[in-house]
Amino acid sequence: MSATGPLALIGGNEWTDGCSFDTDLLAASGGAEVVVLPTGSAYENPGKLVARAQDWFEQLGATVVEVPVLTRPDALVAEHAEVVRRARFIYLAGNSAMHLRSVLKDSPVLDAIVEAWTGGAVLAGSSAGADVICDPMVDSRGGAFTVGLGLVSGVAVIPRANTWSPEKVHRTVELVSKGVALAAVPEATALLRSPEGAWSVAGVGEVAVYLEGRPATLADLP
């Protein structure tokens, strides 16, 4: 995989007590501005989500810039793509991975996200944002797999894993394709990858990794 900026796959309940990793991600970005795309919560009061981000990062000495990409036409707006392209810290948030995927797939905004990230920017995805970054993507409605945006391949994420029943987790583990590592990430917890490719965990919970139906470790993530 080519070099990128830092990556954070967060299980959900972002911008709350326990999400200490945001301080380090902000420092790694080298800036004091966070670009937030509330796309995954387009139909669930995205303004409230952005306001929480603003309150959280204000405590960390940073400002939040909202890019209001809520529908497919929004993802085609050149001005939105340009804001994302210049960003040093990008946060994808919300609860609907399916909507996030349908809005961003093959769009100028997604191209801008990739360009910024491969240029060294921090990319964070929480809940649906973490899910859709990967390929395959977990359909949290039933725990099966579908196609994600593919920014990270060979890894799939169960977001909000602490809210899943053991039976549902087991079903998803059983369904994962050969060669794909599955990470169950709880809320307020981040699965982090450094620009050098090293994986680590931060936040309040622990990440369980599975490979080919068996428990694995962070070292098994590509």
Q: What is the pLDDT of residues 197-215, one digit of tens each?
A: 999 999 999 999 999 889 9
Assess if residue 133 is contained within a domain: yes
Task: For residues 131 and 192, give the distance between their C-alpha atoms in angstroms, rounded to a whole number.
Answer: 14
Three-class secondary structure of residue 158 per DSSP: strand
Assess if residue 52 is contained within a domain: yes
Whole-Å CA distances, 78 to 64, 75, 84, 218: 20, 8, 10, 38
Domain count, the chain: 1
Q: Which domain holds residue 54?
A: 7-220
pLDDT digits (tens, 9 = 90+) for 154-176: 999 999 999 999 999 999 999 99
Q: What is the pLDDT of residue 58?
A: 98
Beta carbons of 201 and 217 less than 8 angstroms apart: no
Assess if residue 1 is contained within a domain: no
Q: What is the pLDDT of residue 212?
A: 87
**What residues contact residue 45 under an 8 Å CB cut-off, 6+ apart?**
none
* AA identity, residue 135: D
pLDDT digits (tens, 9 = 90+) for 71-103: 999 999 999 999 999 999 999 999 999 999 999
